[in-house]
Amino acid sequence: MEPSLDEVANAAPVVADLPQSVSHNVPEDESDSDNSILFLSSAAPSESWFAAHKYILGALLVVAIVVGALVWLR
């Protein structure tokens, strides 16, 4: 037996009925610092392109040295 739409609508909690302090769960003095973290993290220095790709570049350099040595010794 399924509940009717009226029963479901009456059983569902309504957020607008909650007090202001319960619906946010964040003290007002901390809300500004939480929002500023997003902007501060974007201003942090990011990793350079070379640092992110150093192992790939190292592997390509090793392959180039091996190929160059084979061509030179042949």
**Per-residue confidence band for 65, with pLDDT thresholds at 50, 70 and 90:** very high
Task: Tell me the average pLDDT across 11-36.
Answer: 56
* 58 vs 23, higher pLDDT: 58
Separation between Cα atoms, residue 15 and residue 12, nearest integer Å: 10
Residue 37 has a pLDDT of 66
Q: Which of 31, 49, 33 is nearest to 41 (CA)?
A: 33
Residue 69 has a pLDDT of 97
Separation between Cα atoms, residue 65 and residue 55, nearest integer Å: 15
Task: Tell me the average pLDDT across 9-25.
Answer: 56
On whether the CB atoms of residues 51 and 58 are closer than 8 A, the answer is: no
